Amino acid sequence: MRIPFVSGNWKMNTMVTEAEKLILEMLDGLDRIEGVEKVLCPPFVSLVAVNMMLRDSSIKLGAQNMYFETKGAYTGEVSPLMLSELCEFVILGHSERRWYFGETDEIVNKKVKAALSNKLKPILCVGERLAENEAGKTKEVVNRQVTTALDRVDSVSDLVIAYEPVWAIGTGKAASGEQAAATIQFIRDVLAKLWDKSIAQDLRILYGGSVTSANIAEFISHPEIDGALVGGASLKAEEFVSIVEQTAKIKGRIR
Ligand code: PGA
């Protein structure tokens, strides 16, 4: 049985003081919700402060990126070892990393392996761009991204995958529940081929891209969709708490 999962990705938003304020605004509301794994991914510079604030809560912490080396002369980078002291999760292969910072599938693969060997749980993001979607290449792209990212990965039991069509991220144009569910089912089929059916069945796959409190129900009503990776709407306490609340309610009902 897959535990529903909702993560907020704050991206490059919030000063440390703003991050602390936002945590205070959502902490009680989120903490109370049961039956959903709740994760917040603030910017690197706020991880220490937020880690302390979340310590006695049921909310877990994630980073938004990392380098694949453990330590050394890599000026400006943050390593999985450093993060392992603070976080349980790390977002890897987000489309903004891929398209603004040139992260290839091979780099994402190195990062996935480095995260797992440092006891960090990757939230691996995959998803096609608009032109690829329009050319009918969604499956091809997602298959390549998943297969390469997980090449020579021994175990995927700590992995979460987020299907985030690039055209839906930050655009207000979310995919439909059906579209998302169909691609997520396809990803599960890919995983079943790479490992086996029961491993694929146990792995959580989220939808991400313009998720709000107004459309979350459409996604999580699909049994294939295990939760959401939320960008913009995770910066508003009330919005985010409502998204997690609805997930708990609807998933509780499905099961
Ligand atoms: P969005 O971002 O919710 O603002 O579209 C989602 C994401 O990038 O993870």
Q: Is the CB of 209 under 6 A from ligand 1?
A: yes
Which residue's CA is minimally distant from atom 7 of ligand 1? 231
- Evaluate if residue 255 carries a pLDDT over 70: no
| Banded model confidence at residue 135, pLDDT cuts 50, 70, 90 | very high
Distance 28 CA to ligand 1 centre (A): 23
Closest ligand 1 atom, CA of 212? Answer: 3
Q: Give pLDDT, residue 37.
A: 98
Distance 119 CA to ligand 1 centre (A): 25
Q: Is the CB of 208 under 6 A from ligand 1?
A: yes
Distance 211 CA to ligand 1 centre (A): 7
> Residue range 241-255: average pLDDT?
93
- Evaluate if residue 220 carries a pLDDT over 70: yes
Q: Give pLDDT, residue 254.
A: 76
Tokens of 201: 């069945």
Is residue 94 part of the annotated active site? The answer reads: yes
How wide is the angle at C-alpha 17 spanned by C-alphas 100 and 23, nearest 5°?
Answer: 85
Q: Is the CB of 64 under 6 A from ligand 1?
A: no
The one catalytic residue among 37, 94, 224, 239: 94
Q: Give pLDDT, residue 79.
A: 98
Give the Cβ contact number of residue 254 at 10 Å.
10
Q: Is the CB of 133 under 6 A from ligand 1?
A: no
- Evaluate if residue 245 carries a pLDDT over 80: yes
- Evaluate if residue 217 carries a pLDDT over 80: yes
> Where do the domains of the chain lie, and which CATH numbers do they carry?
5-250 (3.20.20.70)
Percentage of the chain lying above the pLDDT 70 cut: 100
Give the Cβ contact number of residue 1 at 10 Å.
5
Percentage of the chain lying above the pLDDT 90 cut: 98
> Residue range 207-216: average pLDDT?
98
Q: Give pLDDT, residue 1.
A: 85
Cβ(57)–Cβ(84) under 8 Å? Answer: no
Q: Is the CB of 165 under 6 A from ligand 1?
A: no
Is residue 222 part of the annotated active site? The answer reads: no
Closest ligand 1 atom, CA of 174? Answer: 5
- Evaluate if residue 195 carries a pLDDT over 80: yes
- Evaluate if residue 253 carries a pLDDT over 90: no
**SS3 state of residue 253:** helix
What tens digit of pLDDT does each residue of 18-53 get? Answer: 999 999 999 999 999 999 999 999 999 999 999 999
Q: Is the CB of 127 under 6 A from ligand 1?
A: no
- Distance, in Å, from the CA atom of 112 to the CA atom of 144, rounded to the nearest integer, reads 15
